[in-house]
Amino acid sequence: MAYWLVKSEPTEYSYADLERDAKTQWSGIHNPTALLHLRAMRPGDELLFYHSGGERAVVGVARVASGPRPDRSDARRSWTLEVRPVRPLPRPVGLAELRAEPALRDFILFRISRLSVLPVTAAQWKRIIARSATSPPVQGRKPGSRSSSRAAAPRKRGST
């Protein structure tokens, strides 16, 4: 079994839409590299469902339900395959959190961010799934900084 990440603008088609529909045809991919990845997918492969646009977060897990085949409805000769939902993640894992994770430093999402279909290694998959089960990081504070542990005592004017 292989692992993949697929992106969708949530205003166009969200993970909630996939859950409601119970399945969908993943199509409309025209980037040559993304098409190579789509054509390499096999039934049973698992997908991280990523909301792009303003949200930028991994939000759910889906599964490839059919092998890729030419999309006869697309004049640009794209390919399509069936995708089914598996489960939403316990919490979304945002792009900033993914970037901050040392174990994901080689994640292709950071190098070729425009791809809508990309491979995920087993180690990356496990780390992203694990991150979704933990509390989100506290924003705006650096670990170990004075502001994260206690506030400075106020100074009285005129005192030394």
Q: How confident is the model at residue 158 (pLDDT cuts 50, 70, 90)?
A: low
Alpha-helical runs (H) found in the chain: 15-21, 32-40, 95-100, 108-111, 122-132, 146-149
* pLDDT tens profile 76-102: 989 999 999 999 999 999 999 999 999
The answer to the question of residue 115 being in a domain is yes
The answer to the question of residue 86 being in a domain is yes
The answer to the question of residue 151 being in a domain is no
Domain count, the chain: 1
Q: How confident is the model at residue 156 (pLDDT cuts 50, 70, 90)?
A: low
Instruction: Report, in angstroms and rounded to the nearest whole number, the Rg of the chain calculated over CA atoms.
Output: 20
The answer to the question of residue 150 being in a domain is no
Q: Is the pLDDT of residue 18 over 50?
A: yes
Instruction: Note whether 71 and 56 are within 8 A (CB).
Output: no
What's the CA gap between 128 and 46, in Å, rounded? 13
Q: What is the CATH number of the domain that holds 42?
A: 3.10.590.10
The answer to the question of residue 154 being in a domain is no
User: Average model confidence (pLDDT) for the chain?
Assistant: 89
The answer to the question of residue 14 being in a domain is yes
The answer to the question of residue 97 being in a domain is yes
The answer to the question of residue 74 being in a domain is yes
- Enclosing domain of residue 92: 3-135
Q: Is the pLDDT of residue 145 over 50?
A: no
Q: Which of 70, 44, 127 is nearest to 93 (CA)?
A: 127
Q: Is the pLDDT of residue 125 over 90?
A: yes
